[in-house]
């Protein structure tokens, strides 16, 4: 049995889309909300013959990965998050690149020789890698209007991945992936009124209206911090909101704190300054339940008592860099 294991955001979904358009394969899908990254533990080691893992931190899945490899399961692993020490095994084919200007879908695009590059453009926009997305769009000759549509599409697919549980999402990631397999050319989603693009666009517009009045709770010359309430719309919009803030003020770091249902801690999204795309992973990994990549990272459970310390760490990091 083959398992496709992938992050439920734009990068993870679109990385798998590209692979399966190019290399069709029957598989069991394993995914979840964007923050659910310890996904290899859901693979049944007794039935698995091969596994594809996309856009989930190897560092966070290392014990399960090592167990699969020791059980002679063939694993193809492609990612751009913190990897830790990559196991040396004949059963592992690892395509890992931690460069802040790439993402898993761009790595898969290179791996496949650009077979489905339009989809990779959408994924890069969804991961807030605007310069990389626009560069690829120019290389493959996209028009300005087509590029703008793929920018919106990537943003919407990424937006759909944010939530505490699958119930927060408009479309479960596994279902969204399956729906998108009907569109080899992503530009055709615009023409089809029944496509998931139109469903997500309506939901996004409603949620974005809710966040327009939010002002920062902390602001200095290094960073801005925003707090969102414990509401489903806030959980859905938090990641895209962080990306918008980063694009509006590229010299500043940004953090979006969303209150969790227990009212004892926050889910945190951090965006490094676009002009200095480093440090988000180091900052978040210094707190329990934190991780991510250089340009964008997060903390799943930041205790209320640690909020001021987090702000000090965030601001202090970029005052030194």
Mean pLDDT calculated for residue range 218-241: 96
DSSP-derived 3-state class of residue 110: helix
- Which among 174, 280, 267, 276 is positioned nearest to 228, based on CA atoms? 267
Residue 228: alpha-carbon gap to chain centroid: 20
What stretch(es) of the chain map to CATH 3.90.1640?
2-202
CA-CA distance, 158 to 144, in Å (whole number)?
21
DSSP-derived 3-state class of residue 134: helix
- Which among 34, 72, 62, 308 is positioned nearest to 157, based on CA atoms? 34
Backbone φ, ψ for residue 266 (5° rounding): -120, 150
Per the CB < 8 A criterion, the answer to whether 236 and 162 are in contact is yes
Per the CB < 8 A criterion, the answer to whether 99 and 129 are in contact is no
Q: Write out the two tokens for 66.
A: 């090592």
The strand pair at 265-271 and 296-303 is best described as antiparallel
Residue 292: alpha-carbon gap to chain centroid: 9
At 82 the pLDDT is 87
Give residue-wise pLDDT tens across range 157-181.
999 999 999 999 999 999 999 999 9
Mean pLDDT calculated for residue range 62-71: 98
Name the fold adopted by 2-202. Answer: inorganic pyrophosphatase (n-terminal core) (3.90.1640)
Q: Would the pLDDT of 230 be above 80?
A: yes
What is the model's pTM?
0.91
Q: What are the CA-CA distances from residue 242 to residues 108, 221, 282 (Å)?
A: 25, 17, 18
**CATH 3.40.50.11810 is held by the domain 218-320:** no
Mean pLDDT calculated for residue range 87-107: 97
CA-CA distance, 293 to 314, in Å (whole number)?
15
The strand pair at 223-228 and 253-259 is best described as parallel
Per the CB < 8 A criterion, the answer to whether 249 and 224 are in contact is yes
Report the chain's mean pLDDT, rounded to a whole number: 96
DSSP-derived 3-state class of residue 51: strand
Q: Would the pLDDT of 321 be above 80?
A: no
Reported confidence tier of residue 248, pLDDT bands at 50, 70, 90: very high
Residue 113, by phi and psi: left (phi above 0), alpha (psi -120 to 50) or beta?
left
Give residue-wise pLDDT tens across range 259-268.
999 999 999 9
Give residue-wise pLDDT tens across range 151-162.
999 999 999 999
What stretch(es) of the chain map to CATH 3.10.310.30?
218-320
Q: Would the pLDDT of 96 be above 90?
A: yes
CA-CA distance, 57 to 39, in Å (whole number)?
10
The residues facing 225 across adjacent strands are 218, 255
Q: Quick one: what percent of the chain has pLDDT higher than 70?
A: 100
Reported confidence tier of residue 320, pLDDT bands at 50, 70, 90: confident
């Amino acid at each position: 049995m083959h398992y496709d294991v992938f992050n439920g955001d734009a990068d993870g979904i679109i990385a798998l889309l590209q692979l399966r358009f190019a290399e069709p394969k029957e598989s069991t899908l394993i995914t979840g909300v964007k923050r659910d990254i310890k996904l290899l533990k859901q693979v049944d080691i007794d039935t698995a013959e091969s596994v594809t893992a996309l856009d989930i931190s190897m560092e966070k899945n290392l014990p399960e990965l090592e167990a699969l490899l020791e059980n002679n399961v063939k694993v193809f692993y492609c990612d751009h998050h913190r990897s830790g020490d990559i196991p040396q095994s004949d059963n592992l084919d690892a395509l890992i690149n931690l460069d802040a200007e790439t993402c898993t879908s761009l790595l898969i695009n290179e791996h496949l020789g650009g077979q489905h590059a339009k989809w990779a453009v959408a994924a890069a926009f969804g991961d807030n890698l605007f310069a990389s997305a626009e560069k690829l769009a120019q290389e493959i000759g996209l028009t300005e209007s087509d590029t703008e549509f793929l920018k919106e599409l990537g943003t919407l697919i990424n937006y759909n991945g944010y939530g505490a549980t699958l119930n927060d999402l408009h479309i479960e990631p596994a279902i969204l992936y399956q729906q998108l397999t009907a569109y080899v050319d992503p530009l055709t989603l615009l023409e089809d009124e029944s496509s998931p693009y139109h469903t997500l666009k309506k939901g996004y517009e409603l949620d974005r209206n809710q966040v327009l009045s939010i002002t920062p709770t902390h602001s200095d010359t290094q960073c801005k911090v925003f707090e969102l309430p414990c509401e489903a719309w806030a959980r859905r919009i938090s990641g895209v909101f962080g990306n918008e803030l980063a694009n509006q003020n590229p010299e500043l770091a940004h953090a979006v704190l969303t209150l969790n249902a227990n009212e004892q801690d926050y889910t945190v999204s951090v965006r490094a300054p676009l002009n200095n795309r480093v440090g988000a992973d180091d900052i978040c990994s210094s707190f329990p339940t934190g991780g991510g990549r250089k340009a964008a990272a997060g903390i799943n459970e930041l205790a209320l008592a640690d909020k001021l310390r987090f702000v000090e760490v965030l601001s202090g990091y970029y005052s030194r860099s």
